[in-house]
Every structure is written in structure tokens, then in C-alpha cells.
Amino acid sequence: MAVNLGSNDGGDLVENAEINITPFIDVILVLMIIFMVAAPLSTVSVPVELPTSSAQQQPRPDKPVYVSIKSDLSVTVGEDTLARADLGAALDGATKGNKEERIFLRADKGVPYGELMQVMNLLRGAGYLKVGLVGLEEMAGGAQP
């Protein structure tokens, strides 16, 4: 508690009931600065490999439509290599125009992420929004098949 030592007629000390919040504000400002500095450091990019998955295998359709990106960055629909500009027309033929059919996208391990995103943008631009990424299944113990 704070004590007021000002002049008093009776000579008795009067207690001051006000709370001093200055130290509290100082602590809050220091914490805010610490979090402002630490937040960008927590989002540092880390190199990752994404070829395997331990997720439960989903049932495949009778005739799945695969779009593949090979290591030389060529794109195939099924077994047919084609130009990226022809991807929408080839998918329309493979799915008989059904834009709701799931497209399975697979890429070689060495394909840059930007190339994968370009093909996904082409799929979205063609109206195919249901895209599944295909990877190798992880065996028990972390070994690949």
C-alpha cells in the first residue's frame, strides 16, 4: 500500500488506495516486444520430403484418372504425354466431362514444388477441384516398398 506523506492537519498518515499499474504496463510491453521478435523466427522454412504417407489407403475408383509429372517436367494423363495447355481437354476426354471426378496427381520426387503447383492451378482452371495427391505408402519401421 502506498502512503501519502503530504501535510496533514491531524498529523495522522492517510493510506492511498490507488494501484500503481506502471510496472504492470512495463512488463506487458516487454512481453509484447519479445513475442513480436519471436513470432517470425518460429516460421522458418524447413526442407521436407513428401514422398511417403502412413495414412489409411482410400478405396480407389474403378478407373482412376492419373495426372503425372515426370522428372523431366513433362505431364501425362494416364499413359499419354501431352502439353500443359492440352491438359484440360485431355481430362475432359478421360472423365467424359465429369468435373466432380477425383483426379489423382502424382509427381516424381525431384519435381520442384512450384511445378506441382502450376499443374494444380491448371487442374483448377479446367474446373477439376477434387485433386488427390499420390505418394508411396510407408511400411512399418519407416521403410519404403
Determine the Cα–Cα distance for residues 100 and 143; give it in Å rounded to an integer: 35
> Is residue 143 in a domain?
no
Q: pLDDT above 70 covers what percent of the chain? A: 72
In the chain, the number of structural domains is 2
Give strand pairing partners of 137. 53
Task: Identify whether residues 77 and 117 lie together within a single domain.
Answer: yes
Report residue 98's pLDDT band, with 50, 70 and 90 as the boundaries: confident
For residue 111, CA distances in Å to 61, 67, 69, 108, 135 come to 26, 14, 7, 5, 13
What are the start-end ranges of the E strands in the chain?
Answer: 2-4, 14-16, 52-53, 65-69, 75-77, 80-82, 103-107, 131-133, 136-137
Task: Identify whether residues 96 and 28 lie together within a single domain.
Answer: no
Average pLDDT estimate for 79-108:
86
Give strand pairing partners of 136. 52
pTM, entire model: 0.54
Residue range of the domain that includes 124? 52-137
Residue 46 or residue 113, greater confidence: 113
Task: Identify whether residues 98 and 58 lie together within a single domain.
Answer: yes
Residue pair 118/80 in contact by the 8 Å Cβ criterion: no
Determine the Cα–Cα distance for residues 20 and 83; give it in Å rounded to an integer: 72
Task: Identify whether residues 124 and 74 lie together within a single domain.
Answer: yes
Task: Identify whether residues 129 and 65 lie together within a single domain.
Answer: yes
The pLDDT assigned to 8 comes to: 55
Question: Does pLDDT of 74 surpass 90?
Answer: no
The pLDDT assigned to 145 comes to: 45
> Is residue 47 in a domain?
no
